[in-house]
Homo-oligomer: A and B are copies of this chain.
Amino acid sequence: MDLELRLDAVIVAVTDGAPRLLGVSDPQRARWSLPSATLSDEATLDRAVRAAIEEQAGLEVRYVEQLYTFGDVARRSQDHRTVSIAYLALVQETELLVGAEWLGYYDLLPWEDHRSGTSPMIESTVEPLLISWAGQSDERLARVSVAFGDPFDGVRVLDRYELMYEAKLVEEWWADQRVAAESPVFGEPMHLDGRRIAATALGRIRGKLSYRPVVFDLLAESFTLLELQRCVEALAGVRLHKQNFRRLIERAGLVEGTGERASHGGRPAELFRYRPEVQLERSRLGVGQPYR
């Protein structure tokens, strides 16, 4: 079997309340792909990824982490296996080169955004379809109810995508069978495993949120507490309780005031900056989701 090794990157940024990831367009196909590189001569994989991103996309990478290695026999060809090592990178949104564009995470995975409650579309359309797909199978029903159950469990992004795939509710399932979709499908599709990998990345970010200070790699140097909260909410896909969120942040000592203030209409808010020293104080670190 033919074997190819690639590095794929999910490059994430958050701008005004929307998590986004970098998509590259291939004129050949109508789909967006993840930026991808072949393995270079760099000594470590992490460095190879950083180099590829900074070179190809001109982005300053604030954080990189290996996500997962996908190596299933490519569904669209039987005698060829592409093993792709997927990475997550966090950046701040900037202008992009042609051929690349910021895609809205929740355009790809609309069922992941619960910031204004469970969207009616999901509740009235997707869930019934999933349940009817599950049919008599207790195992399937259990999976659906765990993944889509209430309260919303942000981390199970991949579980949900896998279910959508198996239930033929995403374009990619039909593409893998080489037929046009014969029933409704949801969310913007991507090339090959792109969306599955993006789902893995979102799940990982959500998981990390509560115990590692990842948000700060997505924010500007200084920010108000509300901006910080909105950024967390954008990623977590749920709304948080403002007062409690502040209590948490302050108790953890994650930020310090700059003395300056920003005004957005209401009472001006103090600007804060991240205090990297907390890393040494080994407390909770991170801005937990617990706070509804």
Interface residues of A (CB under 8 A from B): 1, 3, 5, 39, 41, 43-45, 66, 68-73, 81, 83, 85, 142, 145-146, 149, 153, 279-280, 282
Contact = CB atoms under 8 A, between A and B. Distances in A.
Contact of A68 (B41, B66, B72): B66
Contact of A5 (B5, B66, B73, B142): B5
17 contacts: A3-B5, A3-B39, A5-B5, A5-B83, A39-B83, A43-B73, A44-B71, A44-B72, A44-B73, A45-B71, A45-B83, A69-B69, A71-B85, A83-B85, A142-B279, A146-B279, A149-B282
B43 A72 contact: yes
A272 B185 CA distance: 45
A279 B43 CA distance: 42
B280 A146 contact: yes
A265 B3 CA distance: 58
A69 B72 contact: no
A146 B282 contact: yes
Contacts of A45: 69-72, 83
Nearest to A149: B282
B3 A142 contact: no
B1 A41 contact: yes
A51 to B, nearest CB: 14
B69 A85 contact: yes
A145 B282 CA distance: 9
Contacts of A282: 146, 149, 153
B71 A39 contact: yes
A41 B146 CA distance: 32
Contacts of A146: 279-280, 282
A145 B279 CA distance: 10
A69 to B, nearest CB: 5
Contacts of A3: 5, 39
A43 B72 CA distance: 6
A277 B7 CA distance: 39
A123 B44 CA distance: 33
Contacts of A280: 142, 145-146
Nearest to A153: B282
A149 B145 CA distance: 41
